Amino acid sequence: MQAADTRYIFRTLLFMAIYVALNVSSIFGVFDRLDHLEQYVLSAAVAIPVALQIWASLALIKESDEFVRMMLTKRFLIASGTAIALFSAWGFAESYAHAPHAPGWLIYPLYWGCFGIISPFIKSTRL
C-alpha cells in the first residue's frame, strides 16, 4: 500500500467518524433544543466533514502516480455526472410528477454509490 493510500484511509475514517457522530447525535435528539441560528451552525458543522472528504479524495488524486491519477479522475467525473443527472431527474419528477421530496444531502451518498458502481467498469485511462 502506498503512503498516499494510507493517508487517504486515515483521513476518510477520521472525517466520516465526525460526520457519523454528528448525525447520530442529531438522530438521538442531542441537538433538539438548539435555537434557529444554532441549527444553521450545526448544518454547517455536518457539511465540514463532507468538504474535508472531498479534499482527501483530491489529495489522493494529487499524490498518486499518473495512471492512478487518471483512473481516479475519470471515475470521479463520471460518478459526479451520473449523480447530478440522477438527482436532477428526480428533482424534475418532484416538480412535474409530484414524486416525494428527496433532501439535498442525498447527493453525497448518491455520488459515492455511483462511484462504487461505475469504478469496476472503468479500467482504462482513455477517454
User: Model's pTM, two decimal places?
Assistant: 0.87
Q: Which domain holds residue 50?
A: 1-64
pLDDT tens digit string along 21-70?
999 999 999 889 999 999 999 999 999 999 999 999 999 999 999 999 99
If asked whether residues 52 and 107 sit together in one domain, one would say no
If asked whether residues 10 and 49 sit together in one domain, one would say yes
If asked whether residues 48 and 74 sit together in one domain, one would say no
Instruction: Please tell me the total count of domains within the chain.
Output: 2
Complete DSSP assignment for the chain? --HHHHHHHHHHHHHHHHHHHHHHHHHTTTTTT--HHHHHHHHHHHHHHHHHHHHHHHHHHHHS-HHHHHHHHHHHHHHHHHHHHHHHHHHHHHHHH-PPP--GGGHHHHHHHHHHHHGGG---S--
Q: What is the mean pLDDT of residues 95-113?
A: 97
If asked whether residues 59 and 76 sit together in one domain, one would say no
If asked whether residues 78 and 58 sit together in one domain, one would say no
Statement: residue 127 has pLDDT above 80: no
The pLDDT-based confidence of 5 (bands split at 50, 70, 90) is very high
If asked whether residues 70 and 125 sit together in one domain, one would say yes
